[in-house]
Amino acid sequence: MTEKKKENIDNLLSRFYRADELEQIKIDLTEADRLFEKYPAPQVSQEVIDEIKSKISRRQRRIAYSSVLVKTAAVAAIVIIGAVLLIQNIEQRSVSRTQNGYEAALAKVDNNIASLEKEIALLRDELIAIRLNEDNGTNGRLAEAINNVDAEIIETESLFWKG
């Protein structure tokens, strides 16, 4: 060992062990170094190295394919969500624009309703006037007129609810 390595080891060991244990640990470390030099690690054959490299590259390809699929699915999900939000935003804008048209149509319907209510009131008044002038149901024309007025009232009311 070089002198600097010995100083570093002495400094490190002094932080973890007591002074009386320090000498024995240094001897053990020196002996371990001699054993490593005496019995070097065997060299791995080139075939084993090539096999390990091919397994690693296959695993990386699998990971690459799965990561591409996951990324593609994530991008597709983002695009779909964005499209849905965009469509909802467009629909909300068109609804707000068409609400003015709906309000105008409702105003026309309100005018129509008011005119129909007036017509119904007039027909009821006519019916009351006809009933007051009837001859206890003996007059055929009067009964027919009442039926006609009743039919007109029913027709007007049905038109009223149809809008």
> Which DSSP letter does residue 82 get?
H
For 108-132, write each residue's pLDDT tens digit: 666 777 777 888 888 887 777 777 7
Query: 149: closest CA among 86, 129, 5?
Result: 129
Domain boundaries, the chain: 1-41, 42-162
Residue 72 has pLDDT above 70, yes or no: yes
Tokens representing residue 160 in the block: 């009223």
Alpha carbons 86 and 45: distance in angstroms, whole number: 61
Alpha carbons 132 and 139: distance in angstroms, whole number: 13
pLDDT band at 84 (very low <50, low <70, confident <90, very high): confident
pLDDT of residue 152: 81
Alpha carbons 102 and 96: distance in angstroms, whole number: 10
pLDDT band at 138 (very low <50, low <70, confident <90, very high): very low
pLDDT band at 144 (very low <50, low <70, confident <90, very high): confident
Half-sphere exposure in the Cβ direction for 17 (13 Å, CA): 13
DSSP 12-46: HHHHHS-HHHHHHHHHHHHHHHHHHHHSPPPPPPH
The pTM (predicted TM-score) of the whole model is: 0.27
